[in-house]
């Protein structure tokens, strides 16, 4: 396979950067079409267009300008309002031109270092190339007949992750890593499906086959409750749980009402005392506790529940113990930070997303099970695809056809190494601490949480009002003070919503926005800005610029529109 | 944006075709790592590696040799048996080398024109490039803040597909195509999740909110049956339904036992008389019929149910009517073949997979709803991601984070046009007819179905035995004949399993294998070979070669090992 060559490509502008549609009419024929398919006589076209695209993508990343395109949503909608599917074939260059002008130009630059508002961040550029390999191989992970090496890559990666989470010892992994009789977990399309899979297994563990009863999978929820003599079946989790858990309860026929949300403490962690009390009440009502869910990195605030204590609580009621570490799971890659998730090795199942802190492109989740027999409970087979004796990964997954997504984190871990992740997280922790200092130092922001995993919530509060709020919180006449405080907070909510709109419109920086109920002003819902600082390209200087800009916008909005409305509260 | 340039790249062999690991030690630092992320100072590396990869992928497709790699599964397992995640960073070229040697080399060549065994086939080469764009943009379709133009592309594509299926008229699509209050359907990760979504909606339609009852989504299945006073809730479908429907019933808390499979007729279509009778029985038992599911292209035989009649039957019992057109849906793109799916426009929901007959890479499904209000029944919102007033596509999807997959079929439809698909399907229909003639002409195969959509099932039966079986089927003494026939078929089953193994081992051609219960030998399960002939690169000459080779292998196996065992039946 050794060879050496030079090759020069003349990339004339219609290919390199198509500047107009050719509108060339194509006469389609099977000869023309089959040349578009992968075959020995199209390699040069493939490389020619590939090069053009590489340049186009590079240009996208080098482009100066806003984070979001300035186009309005109605105008953008107008670009994609052709109600009929295209009938005539078009040249690939023409379609690439259209993609460039209509789509790439109006995409969100989620990798921009000034975009610190969502968990979607920059990705290493080689990830883009790996996607090309995945598409070219086009393996279908559902069965070995369409996924040969890729089946084994998937199992290897799952073993790595299982070891990081559960640390079951080298002998265990030697025995299980490529043993098709054993499933350590699933690659899922995202964290939602990973959580859903975990609760699916938990449901089956709660209502397994017994005597004449075939198990809840076969017989359904109504029969399961009747057979086991329970009035209901519930899952308990903190009030900050991701909405995928509500959706999972709904889908599983348990009912979203059966997801019991327990209040959080001042650090946004589930209140274990209240949890124990609730379990007690539920058991008296003859409810079956299917699962307790801990969170390792809440979506809104990045906080981590007391994962050890939750294990003990789950044991008292015989519940499956799941940890949603979609956000925080990747910190297990590092020696320095894995202690933050202490106790996670005692969970029964764990969700991790790789498109978050593994810095791989959209989207891939993992669900891992400590007990290697758990996932077998939801095994399927079919004569035409996954025979019972098979080694097919599709036996356990909720999804059917599934691409070779796992190559991305597998390759990424090799290129970066766990040492590399340590450095990335060092940087993210430093950034988060820097941002904390910057917000605190700035006179016109109020910090609303103590960040654990890279997420800040804060809000714009003009300096004068901060004193007013402070005094009200210290006041003796609580009733009067609370009323006043609520009025001020309502107005501040309005102000922060409008500030967020202004930030979006100005478009050189981006933070997200949410509404929290568990702040020092509870139970009043408080509108907050939310930052996620994990992009390796973001620096302290950039954070200073972001906050300075947003503060300036806040102050301008305040003096133009809000100062007057606040006046009566300043007296 | 106009420009013109030449650029020459010296691709020295360590990049172009890495022939060994460099084992170069890397000192990781944030400076080193951030250069791996997309940023203005790495573009040349990006293009350099991109070029190397393009060449590597081209080589993969030009490589001669078998379809599957010859390596044994245990040996392959040995290549991926490292139980510890990598700690030290490696050079990208080293990782690419490893991917080439360990993964690409041992992947299944699903695009090979001699691989006619599964629905996974060749893809147009520009699809590989489109995947690069998707990864580079890294949009997250869950919300507009991470998916600007891509949200609108998704809606446009959904409208095209909705129109192809439901033909609700231009005025309807003008009004709905980009109206965020309306959802015509979802992009799902595959057909399994599309089917699951359809049944999720059907379940909610069967048990909606009423008075004090909050709907099955909130209250769960047990409460729903109790409130509405039904003994059970069922879905009816043909015996050839895909196993994703069993899985969906399980997951939805309805129980896989509540998927009632109705026998099929001689053409592998659901027997509507038996269906009506079963509905009657179920209603007498006070069961709620949630949905009737029709199939447009069964996985095993490619046959299509009587879609018109199923609508009428669903109406008689007030059931949601879903059509699983994961396989056959794409034929709606053509004037010539859409009549095969007559009646599909009257379905309530339809599943289509794009990684099948849209020839896009793994994996993407669609679920479309005729009534634009149906999907709203399962809407979710969360304050931090999808606010209630939002235009976010994530409101209706089962999945959370989701990549911009829809760019693939959107671009593919533009490059190929519906005219192009017409030609591709002409080719596939011709291939299927050709194969039918070839198998029929060959003396030693028995055709087991009348193909409707590109799928043949057949088996190897030595000529002499065909006569014996024929005589037995015509015999007067049915009991004796049946017994004898069963013995012969058992032996033929064994022979065909072994022949399939031999085909796999020889590895220059590929068909799949399954077991059918509904053949002329019913109820005895019959092992059959199964071909899927949709690859534009496959020709009649190739099919002749495939069948000749497999026949030869069959005959050799027969004379070596089976003739003796059959002898007593030949008397």
Helical spans, DSSP H, in B100-140: 126-137
Contact (CB<8Å) B232/A217: no
Asked if the peptide bond before residue B247 counts as cis, ω within 30 degrees of 0, the response is: no
Last residue of a domain, one of A86, A108, A130: A108
Find chain B residues with C-beta within 8 A of A147's C-beta.
107-108
- 3-state secondary structure at position A310: helix
Nearest CB to A221 within list B83, B221, B407: B221
Q: Are A357 and A339 in contact (CB under 8 A)?
A: no
Separation of alpha carbons B107 and B16, rounded Å: 20
| B146/chain A closest Cα distance in angstroms | 6
For the CA atoms of A16, A19, A23, A25, what is the dihedral angle to 10 degrees?
Answer: -10
| Residue B18: per-residue pLDDT | 55
Helical spans, DSSP H, in A383-520: 407-441, 463-474, 478-506
- 3-state secondary structure at position B154: helix
Q: Are A134 and A362 in contact (CB under 8 A)?
A: no
- Contacts for A513-518: CB closer than 8 Å, 24+ residues apart: A514/A300, A514/A457, A514/B383, A514/B384, A515/B383, A516/A300, A516/A301, A516/A448, A516/A457, A517/A239, A518/A239, A518/A240, A518/A263, A518/A264, A518/A268
Is the predicted ipTM greater than 0.85, yes or no?
yes
Q: Are residues B56 and B160 in the same domain?
A: no
Specify if A172 maps to a domain.
no
Position B160 pLDDT exceeds 60: yes
Q: Are A173 and A163 in contact (CB under 8 A)?
A: yes
Separation of alpha carbons A300 and A285, rounded Å: 32
Contact (CB<8Å) B222/A221: yes
| Residue A34: per-residue pLDDT | 84
Last residue of a domain, one of A78, A108, A138: A108
Specify if B408 maps to a domain.
no
Q: Are residues A231 and A339 in the same domain?
A: yes
CATH of the domain at A553: 3.90.1150.170
Q: Which helix (H) or strand (E) holds B464?
A: helix B463-474
Q: Are residues B296 and B380 in the same domain?
A: yes
Q: Are residues B466 and B392 in the same domain?
A: no
- Point out the least confidently predicted range of B225-234, B306-315, B447-456, B473-482: B473-482
**Residue B299 binned pLDDT confidence (cut-offs 50, 70, 90):** very high
**Residue B386 binned pLDDT confidence (cut-offs 50, 70, 90):** low
Interface test with B, best of A420, A517, A526 (most B CBs within 10 A): A420
Q: Are B537 and B113 in contact (CB under 8 A)?
A: yes
CATH of the domain at A365: 3.40.640.10
What's the full length of chain B, in residues?
571
φ, ψ of residue B352 to 5 degrees: the values are -135, 140
Residues A381-397, buried b or exposed e (16+ Cβ, 10 A)?
A: ebbbbbbeebbbbbbbb
Q: Are residues A190 and A308 in the same domain?
A: yes
User: Positive or negative CA dihedral for A287, A289, A290, A293?
Assistant: positive
Find chain A residues with C-beta within 8 A of B6's C-beta.
8-11
Bridge partners for A342 per DSSP: none
DSSP 8-class letter at A103: I
What's the 3-state SS for A190-217? CHHHHHHHHHHHHHHHHCCCECCECCHH
- Point out the least confidently predicted range of B78-82, B201-205, B469-473: B469-473
Give the position of tokens 């981006």.
A510
Tokens of A423: 């450095």
Bridge partners for B320 per DSSP: B291
Residue B563 class from Cβ within 10 Å (0-12 exposed, 13-18 middle, 19+ buried)? middle
How far, in Å, are A38, A71, A247, B57 from residue B507 at the CA level?
20, 54, 45, 21
pLDDT tens digit at each of 571 positions of chain A: 333 222 222 333 334 445 677 878 888 888 888 888 876 566 677 888 888 888 888 887 777 778 988 899 999 999 999 999 999 999 988 999 999 999 999 999 999 999 999 999 899 989 998 999 999 999 999 999 899 999 999 999 999 999 999 999 999 999 999 999 999 999 999 999 999 999 999 999 999 999 999 999 999 999 999 999 999 999 999 999 999 999 999 999 999 999 999 999 999 999 999 999 999 999 999 999 999 999 999 999 999 999 999 999 999 999 999 999 999 999 999 999 999 999 999 999 999 999 999 999 999 999 999 999 999 999 986 655 556 568 899 999 999 999 999 999 999 999 999 999 999 999 999 999 999 999 999 999 999 999 999 999 999 999 999 999 999 999 988 899 999 999 999 999 999 999 999 999 999 999 999 999 999 999 999 999 999 999 999 999 999 999 999 999 999 999 999 999 999 887 6
Find chain B residues with C-beta within 8 A of A402's C-beta.
189-190, 362-363
Contact (CB<8Å) B137/A104: yes
Asked if the peptide bond before residue B363 counts as cis, ω within 30 degrees of 0, the response is: yes
Specify if A266 maps to a domain.
yes
Find chain B residues with C-beta within 8 A of A8's C-beta.
6-9
How far, in Å, are A115, A121, A131, B511 from residue A110 at the CA level?
6, 5, 18, 44
Bridge partners for A9 per DSSP: B7
- B379, B398, B372, B390: which is closest to B184 by C-alpha? B372
| A335/chain B closest Cα distance in angstroms | 11
| Residue B24: per-residue pLDDT | 82
Q: Are B51 and A51 in contact (CB under 8 A)?
A: yes
Give the residue numbers spanning the domain of A22.
Answer: 13-108
Paired sense of beta strands B349-353 and B320-324, if any: parallel
Position B5 pLDDT exceeds 60: no
CB pairs under 8 A between A and B: 622
Q: Are residues B244 and B354 in the same domain?
A: yes
Other beta carbons within 10 angstroms of residue B504's beta carbon come to 18
For the CA atoms of B523, B524, B525, B531, what is the dihedral angle to 10 degrees?
Answer: -80
- A93, A6, A16: which is closest to A51 by C-alpha? A16
Domains in chain B: how many in total? Answer: 3
**Residue B1 binned pLDDT confidence (cut-offs 50, 70, 90):** very low
DSSP B206-237: HS--BTTB--HHHHHHHHHHHHHT-SEEEEEE
- Tell me if the pTM is above 0.90: yes
| B515/chain A closest Cα distance in angstroms | 6
Find chain A residues with C-beta within 8 A of B407's C-beta.
99, 103
Last residue of a domain, one of B339, B368, B402: B402
**Residue B39 binned pLDDT confidence (cut-offs 50, 70, 90):** low
Name the closest residue on chain A to residue B248, using Cα atoms: A398
Position B571 pLDDT exceeds 70: no
Q: Are residues A447 and A303 in the same domain?
A: no
Q: Are residues B390 and B272 in the same domain?
A: yes
Separation of alpha carbons A331 and A302, rounded Å: 12
Tokens of B492: 């033929």
- 3-state secondary structure at position A559: helix
| Residue B416: per-residue pLDDT | 96
Q: Are residues A555 and A478 in the same domain?
A: yes
Q: Are residues A460 and A381 in the same domain?
A: no
Separation of alpha carbons A336 and A533, rounded Å: 18
- B255, B235, B237, B239: which is closest to B247 by C-alpha? B255
Specify if B129 maps to a domain.
no
φ, ψ of residue A421 to 5 degrees: the values are -65, -35
Specify if B133 maps to a domain.
no
Rounded average pLDDT over B246-263: 98
Give the position of tokens 């050496």.
A4
Separation of alpha carbons B413 and B462, rounded Å: 45
| Residue A13: per-residue pLDDT | 34
Contacts for B118 with CB less than 8 Å, ≥ 6 apart: A140, A145, A146, B110, B512, B532
Q: Are residues A430 and A366 in the same domain?
A: no
Separation of alpha carbons A50 and A530, rounded Å: 38
Contacts for B391 with CB less than 8 Å, ≥ 6 apart: A73, B144, B151, B180
Specify if B318 maps to a domain.
yes
Q: Are residues B561 and B450 in the same domain?
A: yes
| A500/chain B closest Cα distance in angstroms | 12
Q: Are A505 and A522 in contact (CB under 8 A)?
A: no
Specify if A445 maps to a domain.
yes
Q: Which helix (H) or strand (E) holds A321?
A: strand A320-324
Name the closest residue on chain A to residue B214, using Cα atoms: A257
Residues B414-433, buried b or exposed e (16+ Cβ, 10 A)?
A: bbbbbbbbbbbbebbbebbe
What's the full length of chain A, in residues?
571
| Residue B69: per-residue pLDDT | 87
Find chain A residues with C-beta within 8 A of B383's C-beta.
514-515
Specify if B74 maps to a domain.
yes
Helix B191-206, helix B216-228: angle, nearest 10: 50
Nearest CB to B256 within list A124, A177, A218: A218
Contact (CB<8Å) A73/B173: no
Separation of alpha carbons B543 and B448, rounded Å: 18
φ, ψ of residue B512 to 5 degrees: the values are -95, -175
Contacts for A153 with CB less than 8 Å, ≥ 6 apart: A404, A406, A407, A410, B80, B103
φ, ψ of residue A183 to 5 degrees: the values are -125, 115
């Amino acid at each position: 396979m050794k060879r050496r060559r030079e090759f020069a490509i003349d990339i004339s502008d219609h290919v390199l950067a198509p500047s107009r549609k050719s509108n060339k009419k194509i006469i389609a024929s099977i000869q023309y079409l089959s040349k578009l398919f992968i075959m020995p006589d199209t390699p040069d076209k493939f490389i020619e267009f590939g090069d053009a695209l590489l340049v186009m993508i590079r240009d996208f990343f080098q482009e100066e300008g806003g984070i979001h395109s300035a186009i309005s949503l109605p105008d953008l909608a107008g670009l994609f309002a052709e109600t009929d599917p295209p009938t005539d074939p078009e040249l690939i260059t023409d379609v690439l031109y259209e993609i460039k002008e209509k789509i790439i130009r109006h995409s969100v630059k989620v990798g921009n270092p000034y975009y610190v508002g969502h968990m979607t961040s920059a990705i290493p550029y080689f990830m883009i190339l790996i996607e090309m390999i995945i598409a070219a191989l086009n393996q279908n992970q559902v069965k070995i007949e369409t996924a040969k090496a890729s089946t084994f890559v998937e199992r290897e990666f799952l073993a790595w992750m299982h070891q990081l989470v559960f640390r079951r010892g080298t002998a265990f992994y030697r025995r299980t890593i490529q043993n098709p009789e054993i499933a350590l977990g699933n690659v899922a399309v995202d964290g939602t499906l990973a959580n859903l899979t975990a609760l699916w297994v938990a449901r089956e563990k709660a209502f397994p086959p017994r005597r004449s009863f075939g198990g809840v999978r076969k017989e359904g929820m109504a029969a399961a409750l009747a057979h086991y003599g329970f009035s209901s079946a519930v899952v308990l989790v903190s009030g900050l749980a991701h909405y995928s858990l509500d959706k999972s309860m709904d889908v599983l026929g348990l009912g979203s009402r059966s997801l019991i949300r327990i209040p959080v403490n001042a650090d946004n962690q589930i209140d274990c005392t209240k949890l124990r009390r609730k379990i007690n009440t539920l058991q008296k009502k003859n409810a079956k506790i299917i699962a307790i869910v801990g969170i390792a990195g809440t979506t809104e605030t990045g906080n981590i529940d007391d994962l050890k204590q939750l294990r003990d609580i789950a044991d008292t009621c015989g519940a499956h113990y799941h940890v949603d570490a979609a956000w925080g799971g990747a910190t297990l890659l590092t020696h320095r930070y894995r202690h933050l998730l202490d106790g996670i090795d005692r969970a029964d199942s764990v969700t991790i997303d790789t498109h978050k802190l593994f810095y791989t492109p959209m989207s891939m989740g993992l669900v891992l099970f400590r007990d290697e027999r758990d996932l077998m409970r939801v095994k399927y087979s079919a004569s035409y695809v996954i025979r019972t004796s098979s080694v097919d990964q599709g036996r356990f997954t909720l999804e059917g056809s599934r691409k070779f997504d796992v190559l991305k984190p597998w390759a990424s871990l090799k290129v970066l190494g766990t040492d590399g992740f340590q450095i990335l997280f060092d940087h993210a922790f430093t950034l988060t601490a820097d941002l904390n200092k910057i917000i605190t130092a700035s006179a016109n922001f109020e910090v609303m949480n103590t960040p654990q995993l890279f997420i800040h919530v804060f809000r714009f509060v003009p300096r004068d009002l901060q004193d007013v709020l402070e005094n009200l919180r210290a006041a003796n006449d609580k009733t009067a003070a609370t009323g006043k405080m609520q009025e001020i907070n309502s107005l501040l909510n309005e102000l922060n919503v409008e500030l967020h709109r202004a930030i979006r419109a100005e478009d050189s920086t981006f933070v997200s926005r949410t509404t929290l109920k568990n702040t020092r002003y509870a139970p009043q819902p408080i509108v907050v800005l939310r930052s996620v600082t994990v992009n390796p390209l973001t620096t302290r200087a950039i954070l200073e610029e972001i906050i300075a800009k947003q503060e300036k916008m806040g102050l301008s909005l305040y003096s133009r529109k809000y100062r007057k409305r606040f006046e009566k509260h300043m007296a």
